[in-house]
Amino acid sequence: MTSARIALAGILVLLAGVAGMVVIESQSKYKVYAPRTQPSISNAQLANDQAEFAGVIAFDDKWACPRIVGRLQAIQFGDRFFPLAYGLCLLAVALFVGSPVAPGLPAQPRAARIFAWITAAAVIATVIADYRENSYTDPLLVNACTALPTPAALFTMRHASFDKWAWLGSTMVFLALASLTAARTGAWYFTFTAIRALAALLGGLSGILAWAIEEPRLVQFELLGLTAAILATLWQVADAFRRRGS
């Protein structure tokens, strides 16, 4: 039950982080009539060139540009803490997957434990890559409405962003492998382990492919896979507590 408690705590930390980012984004929006003026930070980070970056921040609109950039900077402020939230969550999930499925049962197979440890290492690498991405993004937003970043600076930020998504994709693939090689007891465990494994595998491969072919739209599939994997784990954790109490 210790791993289940840690997994629950990690998921709650992630939910708190998501809630915080939602609040930051909602509070930093302003009344506009063009949907393009409410971009996400990824729109700016993954811009192909100066023209696309200028379009994201509405560089030619001297009224909208400071508000858009201010919103992106607010999101970046929240992202100083969000990598820790999802990092702790994924570490907790890796521990849960690599631990015995119930108190008193034998340890998970060696392969599952190895993949869980590799997942944990990949989580740390992902968090580092996220902060590296932020370190390239923050300076480019400071005077973005008066002078566009150089093509070289945009290139560096874009590739740092794709690197982060690739590391997250690798983390998810290793989490899927840990789930596939883990021992399963009962239909409830098999079903949601399979859901986590499939969601993490497909989402992880989407992230790696996004990096390989530099296709930002694939990142959305990666995030959907991560969400499904976390929800499947949450269901398992809740069921473990229910069985413990019954």
- Give the amino acid at 12: L
Expressed as residue numbers, the domain containing 24 is 2-245
Greater confidence (137 vs 34) lies with 137
**Confidence band for 33, pLDDT divided at 50, 70 and 90:** very low
Contacts 24+ apart (CB under 8 A), 181-190: 181/109, 181/111, 181/112, 181/115, 182/97, 182/98, 182/101, 182/108, 182/109, 182/112, 183/101, 183/105, 183/106, 183/108, 183/109, 183/112, 184/101, 185/101, 185/102, 185/105, 188/236, 188/239, 189/101, 189/236
- Give the amino acid at 239: D
The pLDDT, as a whole number, for residue 185 is: 64
* Mean of pLDDT values over 165-170: 98
What are the pLDDT digits (tens) for 118-164?
999 999 999 999 999 999 999 999 999 999 999 999 999 999 999 99
Domain count, the chain: 1
Q: Please report how the helices 82-98 and 110-142 are oriented relative to each other, as an axis angle in degrees rounded to 10.
A: 170
Kindly tell me if the per-residue pLDDT of 189 is higher than 70.
Answer: no
Q: What is the pTM of this model?
A: 0.91
What are the pLDDT digits (tens) for 57-114?
989 988 889 988 998 999 999 999 999 999 999 999 999 999 886 666 678 889 999 9
| Structural contact between residues 227 and 15, judged by C-beta atoms closer than 8 angstroms | no
Kindly tell me if the per-residue pLDDT of 172 is higher than 80.
Answer: yes
Greater confidence (132 vs 186) lies with 132
**Confidence band for 31, pLDDT divided at 50, 70 and 90:** low
